[in-house]
Amino acid sequence: MGKNIALFGTSADPPTIGHKKILEELSKIYAYTISYVSNNPKKKHKEDISIRSHLLKTLIEDFNNPKILFNQSISSQWAVESIQKCKKIYEFNNLDFVIGSDLIKDIFYWKDFDKILKEVSFFIILREGYPVKSNTLKMLETYNVKFKISTIKIPNISSSKFRCDANYSNLPMSLIDFIKKNNLYESTKLVE
């Protein structure tokens, strides 16, 4: 592809209006945004990865934007493996790995972190309540991590917050019927 690409892996349990906003905004910045669902080894997921990937694929198809691609074949619980799979499939000059500011401190402990540093830059999306603190910035500099901090403004919603608040208004419209029909996320307890 020869252009800047954003790689956006997410546990998407479920995809929210926050995920939708991130994808929309990334498509304005990058030539292509490639997204997939993964199992985060530090999280207990409510729904199976097959359900979550179906939901994210549905959301991405609803965009009908050729710059936003869904590719579940690059999914791995380890970022390094997803990055390597992505690089085998797509040709490009630059790859930015999209990550929320709530997870940025964790990257230093990721499997093969040294390999990841050679492969990607990080595109950090600020989440409310999770500023990138000065000690984290110092660690990023110490490890020579290439990164940019995004100015994208996203709604203050997360999948885990949705599962607690149980409010359909935090879900993309294209997902609500499927979630209701399949009684996902204990939808009988959800409010309209």
Q: Full-prediction pTM beyond 0.85?
A: yes
- On the question of pLDDT at 29 being above 80, the answer is yes
Instruction: Decide if 167 is inside a domain.
Output: no
Instruction: Decide if 172 is inside a domain.
Output: no
Instruction: Decide if 103 is inside a domain.
Output: yes
CA–CA distance, 86 with 7 (Å, rounded to integer): 8
Q: Which strand (E) or helix (H) includes residue 117? A: helix 113-119
Q: What per-residue confidence (pLDDT) applies to 187?
A: 52
Instruction: Decide if 171 is inside a domain.
Output: no
HSE-CB of 95 using CA atoms within 13 angstroms = 25
Residue of 62 and 160 predicted with greater confidence? 62
Give me the percent of the chain exceeding a pLDDT of 90.
Answer: 80
- On the question of pLDDT at 42 being above 70, the answer is yes
- What's 182's DSSP letter? T
Segment 72-101 mean pLDDT: 93
Q: 108 lies in which domain range? A: 4-156
Q: Residue 132 corresponds to which tokens in the numbers above?
A: 């990138």
CATH number of the domain that residue 23 is part of: 3.40.50.620
User: pLDDT tens for residues 97-152?
Assistant: 999 999 999 999 999 999 999 999 999 999 999 999 999 999 999 999 999 999 99
CA–CA distance, 18 with 52 (Å, rounded to integer): 15
* Average pLDDT of the chain to the nearest whole number: 92
Domain count, the chain: 1
Q: Could you tell me if residue 15 is left (phi over 0), alpha (psi between -120 and 50 degrees) or otherwise beta?
A: beta
